[in-house]
Structures are given as structure tokens and as C-alpha cells.
Structure 1
Amino acid sequence: MAFLAGPRLLDWASSPPHLQFNKFVLTGYRPASSGSGCLRSLFYLHNELGNIYTHASVLYHLFMCHQGGSPVYARLLALDMCGVCLVNTLGALPIIHCTLACRPWLRPAALVGYTLLSGVAGWRALTAPSTSARLRAFGWQAGARLLVFGARGVGLGSGAPGSLPCYLRMDALALLGGLVNVARLPERWGPGRFDYWGNSHQIMHLLSVGSILQLHAGVVPDLLWTARHACPPD
């Protein structure tokens, strides 16, 4: 990819306060820009370029330097949190559906319950004051998924052979990404060395992609198994 010449970038101390959330990333901050200026930043090097190109939260990372300042940033962050919550919610519903395929009396309650829990988790994430608080908010969904996985592991649930390990890897990768992001590693060990590439948020993005791929690898055979499997009579 050929990079264009961009505007003069800022250091951490000169960047807007609402963008000073990682004190170990010292340089490469974009100045406040118009909407077209934000779009132009797709084509020059800055410290959010890797985040833009490695994740689905493109709007948040692309327009976070918008000249609208903190109010615009807050809306973008809220939109991003809604996206994370939807992934956690919609990704888990087919797992619950397949796991409880032979328990029709329990399956609707579990699906509704997880959806309601997700709404609470999403609200907590939207109102969380810090990155670690947002991670804890989504932990409620992870805990509920672990209950489903546990039921499946001890034979109380159903599903395709081989899908459960995919789901365990899915949540392990997502948790690892969240912890890396909260810990600000590896940039904490070398402030300024990972300003453009290889910082914690980019690592989290890549682990999140791996998590979603594991979800896909587990759900597809699960749904096929459910469509073909006949449950034993009660």
C-alpha cells in the first residue's frame, strides 16, 4: 500500500484529552480533522491506521479524530460498544439453540435469558468509565456462555462433535485480546516502540478476528448437525 503525505502528526501530550487513553503510545496522533480529512487518513501513516485495517470497528477508529471533539468521539465509542455487544449476542444464540436442541422446554427460556443479559451487559459497557470496566461488563455474557459450554461438556447439551473446542478457543482468544488491551502490552514495556504497529489494540483486533473464525468453524457444523439430528423421545 502506498502512503500519501499526511498532516503533521501530534504527540500524546498535544493530542485532545479524549484521545489520551493510552499513555504508552507516544506519537502518531492525527490532528482534529473534518469528515473528509478523516477519510483521507485511510491513505497515510498514523497510529490508528493498523486499527482501521484490522477490525470491523472501522468508523470508530477512522473518525475518532473528528473536529467535533469529545461529543462525536463519545457517539462513535457507543456505536462501537453496540457492535461488540451484538457480536457477543448474535454469535451465542445459535450455540444455545444447537446445545439445547433436544430440550425444547428450556431452549426458549435460555435464548430469551441470554438476550436480556446481553442488553444489561451492553448498557454497562456503554456507561463504563474505563476499558477494564467495559471488559468486565462483557464478562457477564462470557460467564453465561461458559455455563452453556459446561452443560454441553457433561452431556446435558447436544451438538456436532468438534464444535465445543472451537467455542472454547473462541472465548479464550476474545478474553486474551481483552486482557492484552487492558494491560497495554507490549507498549507498556517499551513506550514509543509500538506507536504504529504491534500495540495492544491491534493485537486485540487480530485475536478478535481469530475468535470470530473459531465461532464460524463451530457454528456451521453445529447447525448442520441440528438440522439432521433426531432427538430421542422424552
Structure 2
Amino acid sequence: MQTLSKIKTKMECPGLGKDTMASTKPLNAKTPSTPSPTPKPTNKDDKKYQINTAEFHASVKKAEKLALGHPKRLITYRDLPTPWRINPFILSGYRFTPSLLSAALSPLLLSNELTNIWTHLLPILLVLRYHLTFDYSLPNTTDDLLAKGYFTAAIISLLCSGAWHSFRCCSRVHVMSAFVSVDIMAVSLILTAFSVVTTYTAFYAQPDVARGYITSCLVWCVAGLILPWTDFFRPGEVAPIRIKGRLEERGWGFPSRSWTRVVFFCLLGAQGAVLPSVHATMLNGWGYTKEIFGFAAWVVAPIFLGSIVYGAKFPERWWPGRFDYFGNSHNIWHVATAISAIMGCEVMGGMFEVARKRGSL
């Protein structure tokens, strides 16, 4: 009976490692006098990502079989292998397939990701409308270039988000993880694009200062395009570039991946908005700076409010299962970020107009 219980525990917990399994042995069991050393993971984040084990592969096959046997090809949160478990309050409606074609067709198939996909694909049409109707007869070629750059970044960001939520159901862990990185890269891209427009207009009459801040924004953007492919942002077993793990083997200490991402994006925002606003106030006065960053507030506010809802997991935390398909925190976050991207298109013309008036004084 103990053996059957152990097998059942092992199958129900696919992320269970050898060290955890050892704790299920009876107290009177004999232990070897010279146990073989078990390599200790250097990255504490990787403990739940033991993807090179028989248990993990068995859990993936089991989930694929369950999805295939369901009339709508959907499974529950408990059926998912560990790496696919993101929000425990979204209980049902998960697709799970090894087929890349099937994953690519997610925008056309029912799942709990359908709202997330279309809340970022449909706004692309609005961004394109702004792009086509924007006044590109600006006196400065750089103005035109930065405006087109923001429109392009917004479209790419929304497309990448839609792609991630489409391929989130892919049972190939390396593919799924790669699309996470694509989504994070897109966030860095659109944040940088708007930061560049903001700093450029804030220092329109001080081009040398503007170039310094824009260079800083671009350096951070490059970091934001590379880090998602490293084990700073991804589990070591699926990260193409391992830096953090090697440094930890040498005794270096780092925060978890979640905190690393939080710190990175906070610093990205600080150098692109907080520092320039203080510096612009010193150079150009509060009135002009308030006007430029007042436009920027329309872009930042939806993200800030959406982040609070997303972090609180409201409303699904209080009513698990009721908002699996529509109205959950991630849906609200997507609407907020889509509004932010569209507001960037809306206010950008006003920012250039105010900046040109300042530059002509």
C-alpha cells in the first residue's frame, strides 16, 4: 500500500523532485551508509522546472491525452504540468497541444486565453488608423522618425502579446518559454519607444541633453531585448543564455527572477521618465515640463491602475472559476495596456506641437 501511495503522489505532483520524494519514505526505512550526492540546483527558481525528468514528461503526456479526449480540447488548472500553471484562480478552459499549427489557431478556438488574445489584436487596427492619419508634415525629420517608431513599436508589442497568449497552450516547454521571452521583449520595446518620444519633446530646445537620455533609453532597450533569453528572466533549463547560474556557482547572490524583472522595469521607467522630468523642470521650468509629462500621464495611468488589478488577481481571487473566460485580472490588464498604447498615439501629436512652440521661442 505504501508503494501504491508513493506512486500516486509522484504522478499527482509532476514537479516533485528526488529530494522531496525521499521525504515520503517510512521513518524506519534503512538509508544507505554512503548515499550518492545529489547535485543541488544553483538557481532556486529552477526547483519547480525539473523538465528533464520522467515525471515531467509523463505529466505532459497525461495533460495532452486529457485535452485530446475533451470535446472542446480543454483541461483544468490541476491537469496542467507545473510550468504552465500561472494563475491558480483560473480553474478551467486551458488548451494544451503539441501542435504548433493548433497553437497558432488559438485566436479562432475557445479557451480562457481568447479574450487576452483579442484585447491586444483588435487595438492594432486603431494604432494603424492613427498611423495613417498622423500629420507627418513635421518640420523636423527626427520628429517623423520618432512618431513612426512609436507606431511600429506599439503594433509589434500588441502582436507579440497576442502571439504569446496563442502559444501559451503549446506543450513543448521550450516553445512556450520562448514566447514568454518574446512578450517581455515587446514590453521593453514599447516602453522605450514612448520614453524616447517623451524625453525628446521634454528637451526639444536642448538636443544634446535629449541625445544623452535617448542613448540611455536605447541601452536599456537592448538589455530588455537580451535579458528575456537569459536565466535572469527565464528558468535555467530553458534559457538559451546561462549567466545567472554560472555566477551563482561562483558564490554570487541574486534575487528571484520575479524580483529581477520588477527591478529592471522599474529602473527602465525611472531613467525614461522620473529623471528626465526632474532635469527638464530644472532647465525649462515647471510649466512646460508639466505640459509634456501631463500628456505622458495619460499613457502611464492605465498601466499603473491595471498593474494594481493584475497584482491583486482581482476579481478571480475572490471568486475562483467565475472569471475563467472573461473579466479576470489579466483581461483587465490587457485592456489597460491597450488603452495605454492607444493613448500614446493620441497624445503624441500634442507633445510634438508643444515642443515645437517651445523650440521656436
TM-score between both structures, scaled by the size of structure 1: 0.84
Query: 1:62 — aligned with what?
Result: 166
2:114 aligned with 1:49 = yes
Unpaired runs of at least 5, structure 1: none
Structure 1 pair 49/133, CA: closer, same or farther in 2 (3 Å)?
farther
Q: CA deviation at 1:70?
A: 1.3
Q: Which residues of 2 match residues 32-47 of structure 1 at below 5 A?
A: 32-47=97-112
Query: 1:137 — aligned with what?
Result: 264
Query: 1:91 — aligned with what?
Result: 194
Q: Deviations over 1:149-187 (max 9, x none)?
A: 344456636869854323123212212223322332221
Question: Structure 2 CA distance, aligned partners of 1:203 and 1:141?
Answer: 23
2:325 aligned with 1:196 = yes
Aligned partner of residue 327 in structure 2, secondary structure: coil
How many residues end up aligned between the 2 structures? 227
TM-score between both structures, scaled by the size of structure 2: 0.57
Identity, % of aligned positions: 24
Aligned partner of residue 106 in structure 1, secondary structure: helix
Question: Structure 2 CA distance, aligned partners of 1:50 and 1:91?
Answer: 26
Question: Structure 2 CA distance, aligned partners of 1:39 and 1:168?
Answer: 35
Question: Structure 1 CA distance, aligned partners of 2:91 and 2:72?
Answer: 17
Structure with more of its chain in helix, by fraction = 2
Q: Which residues of 2 match residues 74-223 of structure 1 at below 5 A?
A: 74-121=177-224, 123=226, 127-128=232-233, 133-144=260-271, 145-152=273-280, 156=284, 162-223=291-352
Tell me the amino acid that sits aligned with residue 137 of structure 1.
Answer: F
Q: CA deviation at 1:120?
A: 3.6
Question: Structure 2 CA distance, aligned partners of 1:212 and 1:132?
Answer: 25
For the aligned residue pairs, the C-alpha RMSD in angstroms reads 2.7
Say if 1:180 and 1:200, in contact at 8 Å, map to a contact too.
yes
Q: CA deviation at 1:202?
A: 1.0
Aligned partner of residue 94 in structure 2, secondary structure: coil
> Max radius of gyration: which structure?
2
Structure 1 pair 152/230, CA: closer, same or farther in 2 (3 Å)?
closer
Question: Structure 1 CA distance, aligned partners of 2:207 and 2:195?
Answer: 17
